[in-house]
Amino acid sequence: MGSPLASDAARVLHPYYPLNAPLDHFAANETPVNTLLLFFGGILSCVVIAAIAAARIGAKRAHVVLTVADHLIVTWFALCGFLHCFFEGYFIFNHARLASLQTLFAQLWKEYSLSDSRYLTSDPFMLSVESFTVFVWGPVCWAIVASIALRSKLRRPLSIIMCVGHLYGVALYYSTSLAEHYFSGVSHSRPEFLYFWVYYVGLNGPWVVVPACMSPFPSNPKRRDNADSKELGKCCCIRTCFTSVRSQKASKT
């Protein structure tokens, strides 16, 4: 019968906080971080390009002119929709064995987990909030992209709901971690600047800043048919005035 000391010695070492986190199945990443980010950045770029192209096609069919702000909002919610549905969805369906996998998404999650190890320990809060994000917030983000392209009246209420949801989610994410650190002294993030300030604070910051800045954007794109009708009205008005002047000159002569 093995002793507890022998069992502890056999436990796989890992770089995550707390150092006694139960990650016996952990396997270090095999791919450099720069390579992971390069591939992930390429995927995100393709998602954004495809979303903007689809939005433009939909807008053209609906006779809608997308503004610069509309393109920015489509970009943001397309990124959110992809991350929520696919990247966070990968976590939901693979959380129990995430620490041992070597896929692109798994290695990215293991890298980010250096700032929050709860993603590798099947933390109940993370599973709950991420499940809601995957199955509710993700589809809502894609619905907003569609509503922008089609000039739907749902765009504004859906955007407000999503922005509030993002702000509330980030507040819960930070507060639960900080509360656990304050009351029990347990920290889930490594103390290095890169992992705490860049990963933990910086990578979640956009979901605070962008929703807070979303309100100044126009609520509806311009319709092309409205613009065309205005131009047509101007032309008709000019033509009428010109005809009237010619008639007056003819009557005088």
Same domain, 207 and 165: yes
Same domain, 19 and 134: yes
pLDDT of amino acid 250: 53
Mean pLDDT value of segment 125-139: 97
Does 198 reside within a domain? yes
Does 65 reside within a domain? yes
Same domain, 164 and 237: no
For the chain, what is the domain count?
Answer: 2
Spatial CA neighbour of 32 closest among 102, 134, 133? 102
pLDDT of amino acid 65: 87
CA–CA separation, 188 vs 168, rounded Å? 21
Percent of the chain whose predicted confidence (pLDDT) is above 70? 80
Same domain, 145 and 118: yes
Same domain, 161 and 235: no
Which of the four pLDDT bands, split at 50, 70 and 90, describes residue 107? very high
Same domain, 135 and 251: no
Same domain, 116 and 233: no
Same domain, 212 and 140: yes
pLDDT of amino acid 13: 87
What tokens does 68 get?
């610069």
Same domain, 106 and 147: yes
Structure-model confidence comparison of residues 245 and 156, the more confident one? 156
Which residues have C-beta within 8 Å of that of residue 159, sequence separation ≥ 6?
A: 73, 144, 214
Same domain, 191 and 211: yes
Among 10-14, 49-53, 152-156, 246-250, the minimum mean pLDDT is found in 246-250
Around Cβ 64, how many Cβ atoms within 10 Å? 23
pLDDT at 1 over 80: no
CA distances from 6 to 1, 11, 26, 29 (A): 10, 9, 18, 26
Does 4 reside within a domain? no
Structure-model confidence comparison of residues 3 and 207, the more confident one? 207
pLDDT at 86 over 70: yes
pLDDT at 233 over 50: no
pTM above 0.85, yes or no: no
In the chain the beta strands, taken as DSSP E runs, fall at 64-65, 222-223
Domain range for 177? 10-220
Does 5 reside within a domain? no
Same domain, 236 and 116: no
Same domain, 118 and 139: yes
Around Cβ 107, how many Cβ atoms within 10 Å? 23
Does 213 reside within a domain? yes
pLDDT at 126 over 50: yes
Burial of 137 (0-12, 13-18, 19+ CB in 10 A): buried
Does 2 reside within a domain? no
pLDDT at 232 over 60: no
Structure-model confidence comparison of residues 115 and 2, the more confident one? 115
